[in-house]
Amino acid sequence: MASSNHTRYVNVGKETTYGTSAAATATGEIESESFSNNYDIAKRSDMNYYGSAKTVVGRQSAEGSLTLPLQPDKFLCNILMGIFGSHSNNGGSGPHTFTELAVSASTTLPSYTFRVGRDDKAHTFPGQVIESIAVSAAIGEYAMLTVNTVGAKQSGSTGTLATALTGYTGDAAHFSQAFVNFEQVATSSAFSKRVQSIDFEIRTNRDIDNSYALGSDTCERAPPITIREITGSITFDKALLTSESTEREPFFDELLGASTSSNASLFNPGSGVPALSVLFRAGTGDDIRFDFFKIQYEMPETSVSGRDSQTMTVNFHGLFDLGDANAMAKCIVTSTNELSNSDTF
């Protein structure tokens, strides 16, 4: 997105103090957005009347949903920081690596202010935390990112539109530059030739009820994480009956025997090697790579209809690797476009 005047946009800024509006530091190339303010209605009853005669606005909160192409820009990096919690730029030499914060009583992921332009006015949503991200890639399409947020209520009133937005000037990743590999890092030369589509979701399962306190009608603290969940689905171009390549795809007979004590459907290579690695390339030097260290596959789904080609779909769950990785996942971003190696998030 080059510098321009826009009437529809989504800007994001990382907050220093939860719920205190932060200046915008990045803008996204958004396909669609849905931010809304919500509140409960508290009613009181009186035995002299059939219905409630008095009410008050109860708890207030806001939530948002964004859909956008997957590209290595500052907007994405803010979202990744919000879902993972830890960032390293390797001392300013890059790349940008996002990893999970260690679990402790004080573990808190960043909060953000989202400013949404809607034709005539700008709407400000402070105190938003990243509830989930979902990534999808399929033949013939751009790779897409869906982001869901939750947090404090919308700021008091609408404001004037931003007059100048600057952002990523390259293109997003698409299907011919999406590479999936198993039990080794995905690269543009080492990837499975059998995958037709992949989607995965990382959820933080925020407890918004725990963010309220007496004396206020909105969130007073960032809704805490309860449990991190990773789920996904992969569709292959055929029913893989045996291991057919060095890419180590999960195959039907192997997963069929998952009920044995060896648990053949659990992939955990160890030594920090990912069980599933997905690379998205938006251009030369513009990469986004997700690594998942321990994967539990479900039983494959496969069927035939007439003479249509047979495919195989496998759902999976990301687990915590107690070994060298000491994590469920990480994401590595490199870019020669909007990002610099010295950027911090």
Residue 49 domain-assigned? no
pLDDT of 5 above 70: no
Mean pLDDT across 275-288: 95
How confident is the model over 38-56, as pLDDT tens digits?
Answer: 999 999 988 888 888 899 9
Instruction: Output the DSSP codes for 107-174.
Output: -----EEEEEEETTEEEEEEEEEEEEEEEEEETTSB-EEEEEEEESPPPSS-BPPPS-B----SPPPB
Assess whether pLDDT exceeds 90 at residue 148: yes
Structural domain containing residue 142: 8-39+57-334
User: Residue 3: inside a domain, yes or no?
Assistant: no
179 occurs within a structural domain: yes
CB distance 14 to 87 below 8 Å: no
Give the model's pLDDT for residue 252.
84
The number of distinct structural domains making up the chain is 1
Least confident interval from 133-142, 166-175, 290-299: 166-175
Q: Look at residue 65 and tell me whether its pLDDT is greater than 50.
A: yes
Question: Does residue 82 belong to any structural domain of this protein?
Answer: yes
Instruction: Tell whether 44 is covered by a domain.
Output: no
| Residue 343 domain flag | no
Residue 161 within any structural domain of the chain: yes
DSSP letters spanning 170-235: SPPPBGGGEEEEESS---SSS--SSEEEEEEEEE--B-GGGG--TT-SS-SSPPPB---EEEEEEE
| Within-domain flag for 45 | no
pTM, full prediction: 0.94
